[in-house]
Amino acid sequence: MKTRVMMFLLALGLGTAAHAATDHARIAFVKPGVAKGVVMDSSQYVKLVIEGPFVSHDKIPVSDEGLIDYVDKILKSSGATYLAIYVREGIKFGDVVRTLDSLRKTSAKDIAVNTVEIALGRDL
């Protein structure tokens, strides 16, 4: 699973770099603990967890059908412009790809995907 996710991330990153001028949010893949420069406070981003067939925000499951509208409302109400995405351990590759594709259609400027999976049952 980790090898497939890393290969996808590399391919997506290269594709994103090639299409720098786009209407969609940029996606960056980050490894915890290696941030350089200014670290954002939590009011500047919205945390989402890819749980498999759905996404959760503050432990609330959000269905695919309403995901874009839900995220846009959360971004607007919080004044945030960035999404911090975490992936639950054992999630299918296709679920990650599908969710990231949907999240790029939101009003977020940038999307940061954590490259370390969250263990089952562990909270953020």
pLDDT at 52: 84
Residue 111 has what pLDDT?
A: 93
SS3 state of residue 86 = strand
Nearest to 30 by CA among 124, 114, 111, 109: 114
Strand 60-62, strand 55-57: pairing: antiparallel
Q: Considering the chain, what percentage of its residues have pLDDT values greater than 90?
A: 44
What pLDDT, on the 0 to 100 scale, is given for residue 12? Answer: 54
Look at residue 19 in the predicted model and tell me its pLDDT.
Answer: 47
Q: Running along the chain, 124 residues long, what does each successive block of 10 average in pLDDT? A: 52 50 74 63 84 90 91 94 93 90 93 85 68
Find tokens 């067939």 and name the residue: 53
